Structures are given as structure tokens and as C-alpha cells.
Chains A and B, each alone.
Chain A
């Protein structure tokens, strides 16, 4: 057989080039659907909102094209708005401390208890995640008021002589928010504990350390990064969640998220809603940067 040397070489070369091109294009083709949705429904809206936040609000119109910093400066000058930032930060800080503490104790417990309990505890911790936020709100909403279950149980047990209504208090908002966010910090911390060799505890106690000393000297240093990650993660969730505090808390409990919704849906003030959203998004971004710098461990954020 006579093999046409140069021809075969050319086809071979062409095939290789095509294969290389395919190798280069394939990942972009595969990423493109996810990328398109993220660009059109996340990046574009964020940029649009950034621009919108500088527009002016005149009369009853949603917005008037313009360029003003008024909406941002009103966050500092208008006490109602600056209070909202302060309220959001305070509430989120308290909630994050609570979820991290309870989540830590819960994760430690699940890790230490015999394995047969594990499935039950994890199913329990999944409850707040599988239930809609609105159903959680509703549950606490009929638990706390004067005619709610709490008041009924306390009065029938004789612990209280008169009905007590805790709905629309900061306490109710706090309990609801912690409930909503607890599973996130629990699962972060549990995955951390699962990576620790339990023999370390035996070794520590064999060497004569009491449980409390073991906790401070062995467990705490090993889980420090997870505590920071859990705190930051809870904080991000807490500042972004407005439905729970606004439905369970007092009317005066204005969080940023609530203000955004109010400006958009009731006042039809698009620029102001956009400006507040940008501030909230920036707050989330700052916390994310902090997690990135604090935790060396692989987390969803610093992959």
C-alpha cells in the first residue's frame, strides 16, 4: 500500500488541532449555563441596583434618573435608618453568639454520644432546614402570645398566675432567629468534630487531665477555626433574614432587610431600596472576606 505521507500527516495534525480546540472550548461550554444564569440574574441585577441607588426619587415616580448620594447619606443622617443598622448588627451579633454556643454544645454532644443516637440527632437538627421559614415563624407565632401554648402551659402548671404574652418582643424575635440559623452552625461544627480523633480525649484523660482541662487544652484549640467560621456564617444569615424578626419582634425592631422591603413594596422608593440593598450586600461581603482571612480550612467560600 502506498501511504500518502504528507496528506496523512496533515489530517493527523488537523485532527489534533481540533481535539485541542475542543479541549479548550469544552469547559466553557459546560460552565456556560450556570454562568449565564449567574450573570443575567445576579451580576446584571447587582450592577443595575448599584446604578439605581444613585437615582433620585421625586414625587410618586419609582425613580428619576440622576446622580445623588442622598440615599446613602440618609443612612447616617436619618436616625430611623442609622438605628436600623445598629439594630441589625446588635441582633445578628447576639444571635450568632447564641447559635455558635448552642451549636457547639450540640455538635460536641452528637460527636461524644454513641453512634446509635447520631441519626436521631441529625434528623432533629435537619428539622429547621427542611421546614420553610414561614412555617417556623408561624410556629413561634402561636407559641408566644397571651393565648399561646407557652402562656397556657405556664399558667396550668401554676408557675404563673396570669397569662403572659411574649409575642412582638425582642425575645421572640431572638428565639425565632436562633432556631432558623442553628442548623447551619451545628453542621459546620459537627463536620469539624468528625475530623478529630476521639483517642485524643482518652489520651488526655489517661494523662490525668479532667474533662474541663481536656476541653480547654485539647478540644478548644482544635475547633477554634470552626467556631470562627460558624460565627461568621451565622452572622451572614442573621443580617440577611428580615421576615422572622419583623414578624415576631416589636414594631420598633427595624432591621435593614425590613427597611429594604418597606421602601420597595410600600413606599415605592426604588433608589432607596437599592441603596440599602447595596449596603447589606457590602456587609455580607465584608464578613465573607473576614472568613476567608481567618479560616485556613477549606470552606465553601474559600475553595
Chain B
């Protein structure tokens, strides 16, 4: 029998273990926080360096490399290309992924498991394999005189190979939460399938759509291996340009480019989240 006042040897041991665990858990927290923040902090510091070499300690601080970045057409064009491609990818993949997920939720049809695997498979393929495959197979393709290779469209479609499965996966789980009685009610009241989908189903899964669109946007904005194989000098994206200049010579301009890219991601996240929560509030009011 365990006495309430005198702790058993087992409990003492257990308490000691708990103490050690608590201590090591704080150690681990410190490690993980430092590890995850290191490259971010290093880059932020470096972007404000005045020197033209990438070296620590930083003796003079300035924002001159930010001015340099935005004054250089090569870099701003790359940023613009990145944004256009990311927006295009978001539109393409969200549309395709949402309707495909709805088909999988609503209907029964043949080859469903096979189609599921086919749509999901590109997500697990390395970017280098996808980029190379598209570059080789579509390298000389032109549709009605439109040269596909090197265009922004081909990069959008290649990025969609990763973005569609993500949107599809997220939307499939989201559509499961839709109350089917409401959909049935809409049909009973004479709503056509098309109308029901746009007026009843989509508004009730708007959060899912917005978050999957964001995923698609961020993936496309950050991707550079496929884009490396598929872009020309005119359409090259910011990450591609960064990769190419990292190989030649590094200056703090690269740090600025990193910060700009990360800020674009964070700003778009913030804008869309604020906009979406406002829409939700409006819908409730």
C-alpha cells in the first residue's frame, strides 16, 4: 500500500524524472526556437548591411541595398513575374481543384480511386523531375503560334501540378463538412445544380477555398526548381534570379530579395485573412 505522506521510492524516481524532463524540455524549446529563427535573423541583419560583401560583423548599417533592389529593373521585373505567375497558378489550381473535389464528394463514378491517385501523384514528385519532364515534352510546343516554352503560362501550369493536389486534398475534407440536407433542400426548391453549387455550396466552404488558394499562391511564389527549367531571361522569377546570382556572386541584394519575397508572402496572407474575416462578419450581420 502506498502511504499518502511518505512518497514511495517509485514516486520519488518518477518526480526526479519529471524534473529532468521539464529541464530538458526547456532546453529543447531554446534549441528549436534558435534553429528555426537563425536563417531568418541572419538574412534580416544582412539586408541592412552597408558593405558589399556578405560578412559579419556588420560595421555600417544602411538601407542602400533596398534602394538598389527597387531601382534595378532586372530584379523588379523578376518580382513582377513571380507575382503574375503566382496569381495565375492560384486561379488555375483553385478552380480546377475545387470543382474536382466537389465531383469526388458529390458523385460516384468509375475509376475514382485511379483518378484520385493520378491527381495526387505530382505532389510527391520532385520538382526537378516535373520541371525536366515539362521542359522536354513541351519544349517545342506552340499552340496556334503561341510559344508555350518560356512563357509564364507554362510555369503556372507546372506549378499547378503541385497546387491542384493540395487544393483538391483540402477541399475534399472541407466539402465533407457541408450539410447535405441544405443541398437537397436547394434541389427540392428547384435550384439547378450549377446554381446550387455557386449560391449554396461555395459560400459555406469559403474558408476552405481561401486557405487552399493561399497555399497555392505561396507554393508558386516560392518555387524555383521547375521555374529554373521553364523560364527564359524575360520570364524568370525572383527565386530563379536569386539562385542564379547565388551561384555567381553574393551581395546583400540577395538578402533584400529574400526579405522582399518573405514580406510578399506575409502581406498577402495578412490581406486575405483580414478581407476574409470581414466578409464572414458581413455574411453574419
Partner of B43, one of A31, A46, A135: A135
Q: Which residues on the B side are within 8 Å of A138 (C-beta)? A: 39, 43, 242, 246, 250, 254-255, 258
Partner of A133, one of B21, B224, B269: B224
Q: Return the chain B residue nearest A28 by Cβ.
A: B109
| Beta-carbon contact of A131 and B262 below 8 Å | yes
Q: Which residues on the A side are within 8 Å of B123 (C-beta)? A: 300
| Beta-carbon contact of B239 and A132 below 8 Å | yes
| Beta-carbon contact of A109 and B120 below 8 Å | no
Chain B, 10-56, CB within 8 A of any chain A CB: 10-11, 13-14, 17-18, 21, 25, 28-29, 32-33, 35-40, 42-43, 45-46, 53-56
Cα A134 to Cα B39 with chains together (Å): 11
Cα A105 to Cα B25 with chains together (Å): 9
Partner of B56, one of A37, A132, A148, A274: A148
The answer to whether the Cβ of B202 comes within 8 Å of any Cβ in the partner chain is no
Cα A272 to Cα B138 with chains together (Å): 18
Most chain A Cβ neighbours within 10 Å, of B45, B107, B134, B137? B137
| Beta-carbon contact of B102 and A30 below 8 Å | yes
A132-B261, A139-B43 given; A49·B33 CB < 8 A: no
> Measured between C-beta atoms, what is the minimum distance from B175 to chain A in Å?
12
| Beta-carbon contact of B125 and A130 below 8 Å | no
A1-9, A222-230, A236-244 - the one binding chain B: A236-244
The answer to whether the Cβ of A288 comes within 8 Å of any Cβ in the partner chain is yes
A34-B96, A147-B54 given; A134·B243 CB < 8 A: yes
Cα A33 to Cα B269 with chains together (Å): 27
Count of interface residues, chain B, beta-carbon cutoff 8 Å: 95
A288-B124, A300-B169 given; A277·B137 CB < 8 A: no
| Beta-carbon contact of A284 and B125 below 8 Å | yes
Partner of A134, one of B10, B37, B102, B224: B224
Partner of B17, one of A105, A212, A288: A212
> Measured between C-beta atoms, what is the minimum distance from A88 to chain B in Å?
11
Cα A36 to Cα B222 with chains together (Å): 24
The answer to whether the Cβ of A61 comes within 8 Å of any Cβ in the partner chain is no
Q: Which residues on the B side are within 8 Å of A231 (C-beta)? A: none
Cα A247 to Cα B239 with chains together (Å): 14
The answer to whether the Cβ of A38 comes within 8 Å of any Cβ in the partner chain is yes
A10-18, A71-79, A203-211 - the one binding chain B: A203-211
The answer to whether the Cβ of B136 comes within 8 Å of any Cβ in the partner chain is yes
Cα A230 to Cα B257 with chains together (Å): 32
| Beta-carbon contact of A35 and B115 below 8 Å | yes
Instruction: Classify the secondary structure of A's interface with B.
Output: helix
Most chain B Cβ neighbours within 10 Å, of A35, A38, A132, A137? A132
| Beta-carbon contact of A264 and B222 below 8 Å | no
| Beta-carbon contact of B109 and A24 below 8 Å | yes
Cα A129 to Cα B106 with chains together (Å): 32
Q: Which residues on the A side are within 8 Å of B165 (C-beta)? A: 300
Q: Which residues on the B side are within 8 Å of A131 (C-beta)? A: 39-40, 222, 258, 261-262, 265
Cα A104 to Cα B161 with chains together (Å): 30
| Beta-carbon contact of B221 and A277 below 8 Å | no
Partner of A130, one of B18, B193, B262: B262
| Beta-carbon contact of A124 and B33 below 8 Å | yes
Kindly supply a per-residue 1/0 record for chain B positions 210-241, scoring 1 wherever the CB is within 8 Å of any chain A CB and 0 otherwise: 00000000100111110011000000000100
Kindly supply a per-residue 1/0 record for chain A positions 140-155, scoring 1 wherever the CB is within 8 Å of any chain B CB and 0 otherwise: 1111010111011000
Q: Which B residues form the contact surface with A (CB < 8 A)?
A: 2, 10-11, 13-14, 17-18, 21, 25, 28-29, 32-33, 35-40, 42-43, 45-46, 53-57, 92, 95-97, 99-100, 102-104, 106-109, 115-116, 118-130, 132-138, 157-158, 160-161, 164-165, 168-169, 172, 193, 218, 221-225, 228-229, 239, 242-243, 246-247, 250, 254-255, 258, 261-262, 265-266, 269
Could you pull out 10 A-B pairs where Cβ atoms are within 8 angstroms? A22-B193, A27-B103, A49-B129, A112-B25, A124-B32, A125-B36, A131-B40, A132-B224, A135-B43, A277-B128
Which 6 A-B pairs rank lowest in CB-CB distance, beginning with the nearest?
A: A139-B39, A240-B126, A45-B133, A30-B103, A132-B222, A147-B55
